[in-house]
Chains A and B, each alone.
Chain A
Amino acid sequence: MARRVAIVGIGQTYHRSKRPDVNIGELSAEAVRAALEDAEVSANEIGAYVTGNMELFEGRYAQDMWQADYIGAVGKPGIRVTTGGTTGGTLASVAFEYVASGVYDMVMALGFEKQSEGDTRAGLKTVADPLWSRWYTTGAIGYFASQARFYMKQAGAPEEAGSMVRLRLAKHAALNPHAHLRLDLQSVEQIMESPYLIPPLRQMDMCPTSEGACAIVVASEEKASKMARKPVWVKDWISVHKEVVYIRGERHSVADLEMAAGKLFQRNGITRPMEEICVAEIYGPCTWAELEWLEAYGFCEKGQAWRLEEKGQFYLDREFPVNPSGGVVCTNPIGATALIRVAEVALQLRGGAGNHQIARRPTVGFSSAWGGSGWTVAHLLSATKD
């Protein structure tokens, strides 16, 4: 029987577009030290390390080996996780599994990215099968432009809907000192002036390239109950792939998101997700993805997310806040991005998010990770053990 697992330490760097002042090891150390300080433990107490980033972005093989010296991992077991966009989510899942299995009592999960050291767009193009679909890929921008177009058509959403999402995320990010883009955006009209990448996707709809790192300390129930910090309990987690190459007659499939959230909610007895879940940090690489995916996760009916956005329902002072951190559209150090989702939900659940703490007193939170073009990881966290 798996053991109960809790998050007992959270750390992240201040995310920027470039961090030429540090190397990868130093950047990683910033997050690790912050997580250790937060957990009030020393590196000696960490039994194993799970680290990860995007496989091809910085051009280093066996990155975990290079990093070990900087993060307190020398002489310890561990593994590098590199599952693309989902990396940060998988990092959390693997750390949970390490502790739940009973093999380790305390594990550090660390995700980072230093995109300026390589070529993100070239790295992303290698995601597609080299003999089948790589020739025509337009990277994340092409994928999400087509997704945006599809959502507008399916949901009857106006082009302003994406900008409404960005306005909410900008307002949230402005309150989060760790967010990368903390722009003073005041109106939908202002965001609609942002240039197109591929219509209808605008520059301000899309996530930035960020550099930064995030780390969490995960502990067993026995350890967690003796720690200084109030533990945030892990309820459940899931990972789902969909068939990527073969698509029959579907312009745009969200089957992986639907399967992941559907199974996760079903086996945890969650029948009205938007009421029962108090806060969601979802992995939305663009504004339009947030809308479509809130529907895919089952938080609202198809075609309704933009209407709820229009009414301001996802702001952090409302009943169902979405991405109170500012989300991926404001901060995207890719290998850390999905781990930030988990960390931010944990911060909210223990009431420690500071200026971007949500108004509602949260009991259960949801975080998600997504990787192109059909891999979803999701987690349910709880403020209480039961």
Chain B
Amino acid sequence: MMMENKEELLQQERMLHVRFGWSAGPYLGRFLAELRDNGRLWVVRCPGCKRILMPPRIVCATCYTRAPEFPEGWFSLSGKGTLLDWERVIYPQMDPETGEIRPEPYLHGLFILDEGVSFGHYLGPEDLDEKRLREGMKVEMVMKAPEDREGKLTDIKYFRIMEA
């Protein structure tokens, strides 16, 4: 039987703060460093099946061929692409980077970059009107100012709609 009288029940609360430190490894590590230092998306092509590995990885997930270390077989993407889909986030969400509730609403887009890989990020600029959005619109990566970059994917400010 469920008991509704909470006074008879003991439930204790704790707030835990736990530190994590994740290793990026030489492949993703290089990607993040190049993003931070040069504002470029560096990727590697799988020597086996010729797919672009985005993010760069030590092996290809589908053919399991080992990918060479930077810079052999690496190149940078144009940062330009096409809008595939988007969503307007209106539900208050915790930002996993900070634990704080993220300001909403905001627009999140999914793009196919010109080199053929898909990628998701914020859509901008901030005053972008959702009603303007159409599938197939051209988008372009916009970086944060160099002094604000941290070697994270959020070093990209957003993807800007290129058409008027």
Contacts and interface: CB of A to CB of B under 8 A. Distances in A.
A247 B154 CA distance: 20
Contact of A250 (B2, B52, B118): B118
A198 B91 CA distance: 6
A221 to B, nearest CB: 38
Nearest to A141: B91
B90 interface: yes
A135 B97 contact: yes
Interface stretch (A14-22, A45-53, A325-333, A364-372): A14-22
Counting chain A residues whose Cβ lies within 8 A of the other chain, the interface size class is 35 or more
A135 B51 contact: no
Contacts of B16: 59
B15 to A, nearest CB: 10
Contacts of A134: 96-97
Interface in A1-23: 16, 19-21
Given A199-B88, A249-B118, A131 B28 contact: yes
B11 A20 contact: yes
Given A21-B3, A249-B112, A132 B94 contact: no
Counting chain B residues whose Cβ lies within 8 A of the other chain, the interface size class is 35 or more
Nearest to A59: B16
Interface string B87-103: 11111011111000000
B33 to A, nearest CB: 12
A132 B97 CA distance: 12
Interface in B1-18: 1-3, 6, 9, 11, 16
Contact of A246 (B2, B54, B89, B122): B54
B90 A136 contact: no
Contacts of B2: 16, 19, 21
A218 to B, nearest CB: 30
B24 interface: yes
Contacts of A135: 95-97, 152-154
A196 B90 contact: yes
A197 B6 CA distance: 31
Given A21-B2, A246-B53, 20 more contacts: A21-B1, A122-B94, A126-B96, A131-B152, A132-B28, A132-B153, A133-B153, A136-B122, A138-B91, A145-B87, A146-B110, A243-B61, A243-B62, A246-B117, A248-B51, A248-B117, A249-B84, A249-B118, A251-B84, A251-B110
A126 B22 CA distance: 12
B28 A125 contact: no
A142 B153 contact: no
Contacts of B157: none
Nearest to A249: B112
A142 B95 CA distance: 13
Nearest to B110: A251
A150 interface: yes
Contacts of B85: 146, 149-150, 251
19 contacts: A20-B3, A20-B11, A122-B94, A132-B28, A135-B95, A135-B97, A136-B121, A136-B153, A138-B108, A139-B93, A142-B89, A145-B87, A198-B87, A198-B91, A246-B54, A246-B117, A248-B116, A248-B117, A249-B112
Contacts of A363: none
Nearest to A126: B96
Interface in A109-141: 121-122, 125-126, 128, 130-139, 141
Contacts of B93: 121, 138-139, 141-142
Nearest to B24: A131
B136 interface: no
A319 B120 CA distance: 41
Nearest to B98: A135
Contacts of B146: none
A149 to B, nearest CB: 7
Contacts of A183: none
Contact of B87 (A149, A245, A250): A149
Contact of A20 (B6, B28, B96): B6
A134 B95 CA distance: 9
A120 B99 CA distance: 14
Contacts of A146: 85, 87, 110
B153 to A, nearest CB: 6
Interface string B48-70: 00011111000001100000000
B67 to A, nearest CB: 12
Nearest to B62: A243
